[in-house]
């Protein structure tokens, strides 16, 4: 079983997938949407990736504000979570994604990726950070002997 990480934005969805040992996250792609409200093609593409990579769980970035409050993007993310669960039949966990886009931008800048190319990779890298954070938490829980089923 693999775990999928998603960075859900207004125009794109960054996608990452774990290895089978649940140790590392790798970027897969950035799904582009033509309009904010049209999610049918996005959900269909995610479903195809779920089947291709044999995904058993999804981790969805949850964009809380820095003061822990929930804004408009949180509501849209919760709606997307429900659609994903209904479409895929999989558990979709929410994961705090604060500053992942900033970290992704910084990583791309430090890697020498040109500004015009960064935009096409930033959501995918953010999805990697979201998923890697979740995988690291599973590893810590396992080390501490905590129940990792969540």
User: Domain limits of the chain?
Assistant: 2-143
pLDDT band with cut points at 50, 70 and 90 for residue 17: very high
Please count the CA atoms within 13 angstroms of the CA of 75 that sit on its side-chain side: 2
pLDDT band with cut points at 50, 70 and 90 for residue 148: very low
Choose among 126, 136, 91: nearest CA to 7. Answer: 126
- What is the pLDDT at residue 99? 62
Q: What is the pLDDT of residues 28-64, one digit of tens each?
A: 999 998 776 679 999 999 999 999 999 999 999 998 7
Helix H or strand E encompassing 14: strand 12-18
Give the Cα separation of 16 and 127 in Å (integer): 5
**The tokens of 45 are what?**
């593409």
Q: What is the pLDDT of residues 79-98, one digit of tens each?
A: 999 999 999 999 999 998 86
For 2-143, give the CATH class.
alpha beta
Give phi and psi for 15, each to the nearest 5.
-125, 135
This prediction's pTM: 0.83
């Amino acid at each position: 079983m693999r775990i999928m990480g998603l960075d859900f934005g207004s125009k794109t969805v960054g996608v990452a997938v774990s290895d089978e040992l649940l140790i590392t996250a790798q970027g897969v792609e950035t799904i582009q949407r033509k309009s904010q409200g049209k999610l049918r093609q996005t959900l269909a593409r995610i479903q195809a990736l779920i089947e291709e990579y044999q995904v058993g769980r999804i981790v969805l970035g949850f964009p809380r504000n820095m003061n822990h409050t929930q804004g408009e993007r949180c509501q849209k993310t919760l709606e997307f979570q429900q659609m994903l669960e209904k479409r895929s039949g999989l558990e979709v966990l929410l994961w705090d994604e604060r500053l992942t886009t900033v970290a992704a931008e910084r990583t791309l800048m430090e890697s020498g990726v040109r500004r015009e190319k960064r935009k096409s990779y930033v959501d995918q890298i953010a999805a990697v950070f979201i998923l890697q954070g979740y995988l690291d938490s599973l590893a810590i829980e396992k080390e501490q002997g905590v129940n990792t089923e969540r």
